[in-house]
């Protein structure tokens, strides 16, 4: 097999199981792994989570969605872009245009106009198509949980 070894500390979960998965399976798994980490990261100390678009404090154990600014069904290129994903209450996440406007309004003030534009350009590129990309992303999310440096990976 190829060069998958990157030896750093400890034992890593072998990516072998992921290599056997189909592309749709990898897509689902990446989303499952990353959304779980994101939901953890968004929690306040008391376990509550703030909805990004309406400000509601969702109590511990309440339902928090990983909401997309650019809708994930329509724009594959920003499906896994963490700049496009924030905590939302269900009613905002299922809501319409107003929430998207609120989402982007806040996002622009958070990350800046240039970053927002850059992210937005990605949305037309479609979902990543390389299994190797998913396998790498899955293992990165599993290993670090640190999602600050996740934007620059080549996607295709
Ligand atoms: Zn909300």
- Segments forming the whole domain that contains residue 57: 22-142
Query: How many Å lie between the centroid of ligand 1 and the Cα of residue 79?
Result: 20
- Kind plus residue range of the DSSP H or E element containing 87: strand 85-88
Query: How many Å lie between the centroid of ligand 1 and the Cα of residue 134?
Result: 30
Average pLDDT score over residue span 54-73? 95
Query: How many Å lie between the centroid of ligand 1 and the Cα of residue 104?
Result: 14
| Contacting residues for 109 by C-beta, under 8 A, at least 6 apart | none
Residue 155 lies in a domain: no
* Total Cβ atoms within 10 A of residue 135: 20
Residue 5 CB-density burial (10 A; 0-12 exposed, 13-18 middle, 19+ buried): exposed
| 69 band by pLDDT with thresholds 50, 70 and 90 | very high
How many structural domains is the chain composed of? 1
Residue 154 lies in a domain: no
Residue 149 lies in a domain: no
User: Rounded CA gap, 53 and 96, in Å?
Assistant: 12
Residue 148 lies in a domain: no
| 11 band by pLDDT with thresholds 50, 70 and 90 | low
DSSP 149: T
Query: How many Å lie between the centroid of ligand 1 and the Cα of residue 63?
Result: 11
Residue 12 lies in a domain: no
Query: How many Å lie between the centroid of ligand 1 and the Cα of residue 19?
Result: 38
Residue 9 lies in a domain: no
Out of 4-18, 23-37, 53-67, pick the least confident. Answer: 4-18
Q: pLDDT tens digit string along 93-149?
A: 987 655 899 999 999 999 999 999 999 999 999 999 999 999 999 999 998 655 554
Query: How many Å lie between the centroid of ligand 1 and the Cα of residue 59?
Result: 13
Residue 6 lies in a domain: no
Which pLDDT value is given to residue 104? 97
| 33 band by pLDDT with thresholds 50, 70 and 90 | very high
Residue 71 lies in a domain: yes
DSSP 59: P
Kindly report whether the global pTM for this prediction surpasses the value 0.85. no
């Amino acid at each position: 097999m190829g060069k998958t070894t990157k030896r750093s500390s400890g034992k890593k979960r072998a990516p072998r199981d992921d290599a056997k998965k189909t592309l749709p399976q990898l897509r689902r798994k990446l989303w499952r792994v990353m959304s779980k980490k994101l939901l953890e990261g968004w929690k306040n100390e008391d376990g509550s989570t703030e909805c990004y678009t309406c400000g509601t404090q969702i109590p511990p154990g309440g339902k928090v969605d990983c909401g997309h600014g650019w809708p994930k069904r329509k724009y594959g290129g920003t499906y896994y872009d963490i700049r496009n994903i924030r905590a939302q209450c269900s009613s905002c996440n299922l809501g319409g245009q107003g929430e998207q406007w609120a989402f982007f309004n806040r996002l622009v003030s958070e990350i800046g106009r240039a970053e927002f534009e850059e992210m937005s350009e990605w949305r037309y590129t479609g979902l990543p198509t390389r299994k190797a990309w998913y396998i790498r992303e899955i293992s990165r999310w599993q290993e670090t949980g640190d999602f600050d440096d996740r934007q620059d990976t080549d996607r295709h």
